[in-house]
Amino acid sequence: MNKKVNQLKMGTLLSYVTIIIQNLCAIIYTPIMLRLLGQNEYGLYQLGSSTVSYLGLLSFGFGSSYMKFYFGYKVKNQEEEIRKLNSIFLLVFLGLAALSCIAGSGMIASADKIFGSSLSAADVKQVQKLMLILVISMAVTFPNIIFECYMTAHERYIFQRIMLIAVTVLNPFITLPLLLMGYRSTVLVAANLILTLFRTGMNIYYCMFKLHMKFQFHGMQLNVLKNVGTFSLYIFLNEIATQINLNVDKVILGAVQGASVVAIYSVGSQFNQYFISMSTAVSNVFIPRVNKMVAEKQGDEILNKLFVRIGRIQYIILSAVLTGYLLYGKFFIRKWAGEGYDAAYYVGAMVMIPYIVPLIQNIGIEIQRAKNMHKFRSIIYFIIAFANLGISIPLGKYYGAVGTAFGTTLSTIIGNIILMNWYYHKKVGLNIIGFIKSMIQPSISLIIAVIIGVSVRRVFPVDSWAAFLSQAGLFLGIYAILLYLIGLNNDEKTIVKQMFRQKNI
């Protein structure tokens, strides 16, 4: 038990270490990449990546399904059934890898028809070249899913996070020298393929030789696959909706505006990706625990406590990040990305402001799935995502990056905030009113810190890196002090004290 607790605590800590390293690498590396590649070439890279990312939908949500079925067998000590489950999922993902190659070939062949009206012939060829390497990389990720799931089920977060850190640090060290030598965006996707192969190989080794993962291909029962498929169907619909809401804007802009506008949108939406990663750093390590709690039929009261506890942690962190972005992000983007990216600030703000609500509630998604109550969410998201697609096409055509961002904002408010909170409260058994009340204390700390931050900014404009760093540091420092004094509850204060008292967590 102590070993698992240490894995959980270290996994959470390393998740944030990973995010800090990823964000630092991106903050340092992205502006260099923007200047070396240029706005058009960077836009082509983002366009190719966003288009191929839709192949990820071919996972059909099977990865999320693994946890539910694994713990269904684990609590009954059915080790043979787990071995058969591993075999079924491995064969499924190998088949999906082959399918992704076929579908990817069709996407590459169709690139001229999709982007030919807004891109030059040379740009279309470059996008096709990028897509070819990205399709191969995507195919490799499919069989890797089963090994990632197996490690997560065993709560081996330390190895997973160390691998992420290694890949994050290696990427710029591989690509930057090649970019400085004059190579184009092709080296970015080639490096990604190499690192994907490396990570997959290490995951396989760890599962087979450290966790002693077993497979049993004889005696596999197809009815298990049928049950997995039924459960995964609605997760698949949800993933379609997520892909549309997070990536379709770039594809639309590539088709109606061109690569330069895609680059502007990508810079703004990149901050939303950082935002999402900060949220999932906490919730992801609790996925096995949620599935185990539901499999053991623990009550809604315990699940609600976990929901509020994790939500408060996420809110405390994300509200500071969002507010800091709104206060100081415009200066940062102007200096960081360079001239021509001012609209990216508004793209980031429009997407991030409503997205904070579902991000602080994302452990609720795992509770729904563990309870097999994710059907409603998936259907609603699916419908709203296509509504987002419908309104974003004309908005992107006439208003560019900001227009498509508004379409995503609107869909987030209707689907993720209004409808899902109703469903959480009425059907899933989560006390949303109590959840909202639990956010009042940290919100008071935030509001006071914001008032001070705005007042200081009005007297001393943020017009230099020194002013940016000093004012951002002042804001975060005041917020941290106020949090401890009036924002945290007694349990959270105890955790903070323990963190400073103990060298190891």
Q: How confident is the model at residue 60 (pLDDT cuts 50, 70, 90)?
A: low
178 in any annotated domain: yes
How far the first Cα of the chain sits from its last, in Å, is 15
> Mind listing the pLDDT tens digit for each residue in 333-362?
888 777 778 888 888 888 889 889 988 888
384 in any annotated domain: yes
450 in any annotated domain: no
pLDDT averaged over every residue in the chain? 81
Tally of domains within the chain: 1
481 in any annotated domain: no
Calculate mean pLDDT across residues 92-97. 87
Percent of the chain with pLDDT over 90: 15
494 in any annotated domain: no
CA gap 364, 435 in Å, rounded: 11
Q: What is the pTM of this model?
A: 0.69
DSSP 504: -
447 in any annotated domain: no
> Mind listing the pLDDT tens digit for each residue in 440-483?
999 999 999 999 999 999 999 888 889 999 999 999 999 999 99
All residues at 6 or more sequence positions from 50 whose CB lies less than 8 Å from its CB, including other chains:
247, 250, 251, 254, 262
463 in any annotated domain: no
65 in any annotated domain: yes
453 closest CA partner among 359, 329, 345, 343? 329
Q: Is 298 left (phi over 0), alpha (psi -120 to 50) or beta?
A: beta
Q: What is the pLDDT of residue 503?
A: 45
Q: What is the pLDDT of residue 399?
A: 80
Range of the domain at 284: 2-438
CA gap 164, 198 in Å, rounded: 11
Q: How confident is the model at residue 505 (pLDDT cuts 50, 70, 90)?
A: very low
Q: What is the pLDDT of residue 6?
A: 56
Q: Which residue has the higher pLDDT, 24 or 503?
A: 24
Q: What is the pLDDT of residue 175?
A: 83
